C-alpha cells in the first residue's frame, strides 16, 4: 500500500531536514543535484550563433538519440495541449536556459532591473549558444518524466485532472515589475490535514503541472524566476511530514535539477524558530553571493520588502499572506 511504501522513518526525517535546509539556497543558486556533466560546458560541445540555428541542432540531437537508443522522445506525458505549447516550445525553454547568464552583476546589454535579484541576461554578440549543454539538461528532463510516467497517464496530465489537489495548496503565480515570473507559496493557507491524505501520485501530478506552468512561461525563461515562500511559522513536525519523503525528494530534484528554470531570488517570510536556527547553522558555509540569493523578510517589514522584491501590491495576489496585494486573478486562476 502507499502507506507502507512512503512510511517515514527516523533516518528519512534526517534526510528531509537536510533537504529542507538546503532547498531555498540551491534553488536560488541553481546548484544542481545532477552529475556535473549535465551542468557545464565541455570540450567538444556543439554551439550555435542564433536561436533558430540552436533549435534545429537540438531537434537533430533528439532525433539521433531516438534513433540510436531506447529513449522515449515522444513527450507524450508533457502537458503541451493544456498550455497551448508544442515540442518546439519545450526545446526552446532548454535552449534559453543554456543561453542566459545568471551572474551578470553589471550587464552591458541595455536591460536592467533594480528589484532584488535582478534579471537573466542573454549572451553577448561574441558568445555562442551551447546546444550540447541544453541537450544534456533536456535529457535529464526526459529521464525524470519517464521515471514518473505511470503517474502522469490515465488520465493525461491536465489542469482539470489536478484541480482538486491544487485547491489544497495556496499557490499563486504572477509577473513582477521586471517581468520576472513570481511563484508565491503560502503554507499558512495550505490545508495540511487534507494534503497529508492525498496519494503520492496525485501530489506528484500537481507539482509536475505547476513546474511546466513555470518553465514554459517565456518571461521565466528570459527574465528569471522569483520564489516567495510564506512559511507561516509552521511547526517543525507539520513541515517534516507535509509530503512523503520520496515524493518530496523527487519533486525537489525535478524543480531544482531538471527543469530549465533559473531562480534569481528566494524570499522567506514568517520563518519559524527552527528554520531560523537551521539557516544560522547553514550560513557558516555560504559565501556572500550565496547569501545574496536568499532574502529573509523580518516581521513587520513584509510590505516594504515586497516592494523591493516584486515592485509593490499590483504584482501581488490578493490572497497571498498578510501582504497588500491587488491581483484578483493570477496566472493559475486563468486556467479555471
**Does residue 202 form part of some domain?**
yes
Evaluate whether 205 touches 197 at the Cβ level (below 8 Å): no
Main-chain dihedrals φ then ψ at residue 34, nearest 5 degrees: -75, 160
Is the distance from CB of 66 to CB of 73 less than 8 angstroms?
yes
**Res. 40 pLDDT band, cuts 50 70 90:** low
Nine cell digits for residue 130: 551551447
Q: Report which of residues 257 and 89 the model is more confident about.
A: 89
Question: What b/e readout covers 180-195, taking b as 16+ CB neighbours within 10 angstroms?
Answer: bbbbbbbbbebebeeb
**Does the residue 240 lie in any domain?**
yes
Query: Which whole number is the average pLDDT over 35-59?
Result: 79
Lowest mean pLDDT among 121-130, 162-171, 199-208, 253-262: 121-130
pLDDT digits (tens, 9 = 90+) for 81-110: 999 999 999 999 999 999 876 444 445 555
Q: How large a percentage of the chain has pLDDT more than 70?
A: 83
- Supply the mean pLDDT for the chain: 84
Stated pTM of the model: 0.86
- Give the pLDDT confidence score for residue 125 in this predicted structure: 67
Residue at 151 is within a domain:
yes
Residue 53 in domain: yes
- Please report whether residue 76 resides in a domain: yes
The alpha-helical segments, DSSP class H, found in the chain are 2-5, 10-29, 51-68, 80-83, 87-99, 131-147, 159-166, 192-196, 200-215, 218-222, 236-240, 245-253, 273-282, 288-292, 302-309
Is the pLDDT reported for residue 145 higher than 90? yes
User: Would residue 30 count as lying in a domain?
Assistant: no
Domain of 301, CATH number, reads 3.40.525.10
Q: Is the pLDDT of residue 36 over 60?
A: no
Across residues 293-311, what is the average pLDDT?
93
* 65 falls within a domain: yes
Neighbours of 127 (CB within 10 A): 12
CB 138 within 8 A of CB 89: no
Q: CB count, 10 Å around CB of 111?
A: 15
In a domain, 35, yes or no: no
* Domain around 67: 41-103+116-335
Q: How many domains does the chain have?
A: 1
Amino acid at each position: 500500500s502507499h502507506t507502507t511504501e512512503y512510511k517515514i522513518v527516523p533516518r528519512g526525517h534526517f534526510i528531509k531536514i537536510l533537504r529542507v535546509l538546503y532547498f531555498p539556497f540551491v534553488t536560488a543558486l541553481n546548484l544542481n543535484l545532477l552529475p556535473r556533466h549535465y551542468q557545464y560546458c565541455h570540450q567538444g560541445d556543439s554551439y550555435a550563433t542564433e536561436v533558430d540555428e540552436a533549435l534545429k541542432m537540438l531537434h537533430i540531437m533528439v532525433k539521433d538519440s531516438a534513433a540510436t537508443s531506447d529513449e522515449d522522445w515522444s513527450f507524450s506525458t508533457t502537458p503541451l495541449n493544456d498550455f497551448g505549447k508544442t515540442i518546439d516550445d519545450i526545446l526552446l525553454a532548454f535552449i534559453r536556459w543554456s543561453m542566459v547568464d545568471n551572474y551578470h552583476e553589471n550587464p552591458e546589454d541595455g536591460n536592467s532591473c533594480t528589484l532584488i535579484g535582478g534579471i537573466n541576461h542573454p549572451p553577448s554578440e561574441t558568445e555562442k549558444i551551447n546546444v550540447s549543454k541544453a541537450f544534456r539538461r533536456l535529457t535529464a528532463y526526459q529521464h525524470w518524466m519517464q521515471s514518473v510516467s505511470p503517474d502522469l497517464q490515465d488520465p493525461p496530465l491536465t489542469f482539470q485532472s489536478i484541480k482538486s489537489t491544487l485547491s489544497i495548496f495556496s499557490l499563486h503565480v504572477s509577473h513582477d515589475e521586471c517581468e520576472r515570473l513570481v511563484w508565491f507559496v503560502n503554507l499558512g493557507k495550505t490545508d495540511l490535514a487534507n494534503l497529508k491524505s492525498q496519494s503520492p501520485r496525485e501530489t506528484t501530478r500537481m507539482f509536475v503541472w505547476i513546474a511546466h506552468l513555470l518553465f514554459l512561461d517565456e518571461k521565466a525563461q528570459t527574465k528569471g524566476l522569483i520564489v516567495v515562500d510564506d512559511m507561516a511559522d509552521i511547526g517543525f513536525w507539520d513541515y517534516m511530514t507535509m509530503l512523503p519523503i520520496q515524493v518530496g525528494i523527487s519533486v525537489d530534484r525535478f524543480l531544482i535539477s531538471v527543469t530549465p528554470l533559473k531562480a534569481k531570488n528566494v524570499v522567506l517570510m514568517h520563518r519559524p524558530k527552527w528554520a531560523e536556527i537551521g539557516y544560522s547553522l547553514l550560513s557558516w558555509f555560504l559565501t556572500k553571493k550565496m547569501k545574496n540569493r536568499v532574502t529573509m523578510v523580518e516581521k513587520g517589514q513584509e510590505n516594504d520588502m515586497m516592494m523591493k522584491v516584486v515592485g509593490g501590491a499590483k504584482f501581488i495576489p490578493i490572497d497571498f499572506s498578510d501582504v497588500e496585494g491587488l491581483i484578483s486573478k493570477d496566472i493559475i486562476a486563468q486556467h479555471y
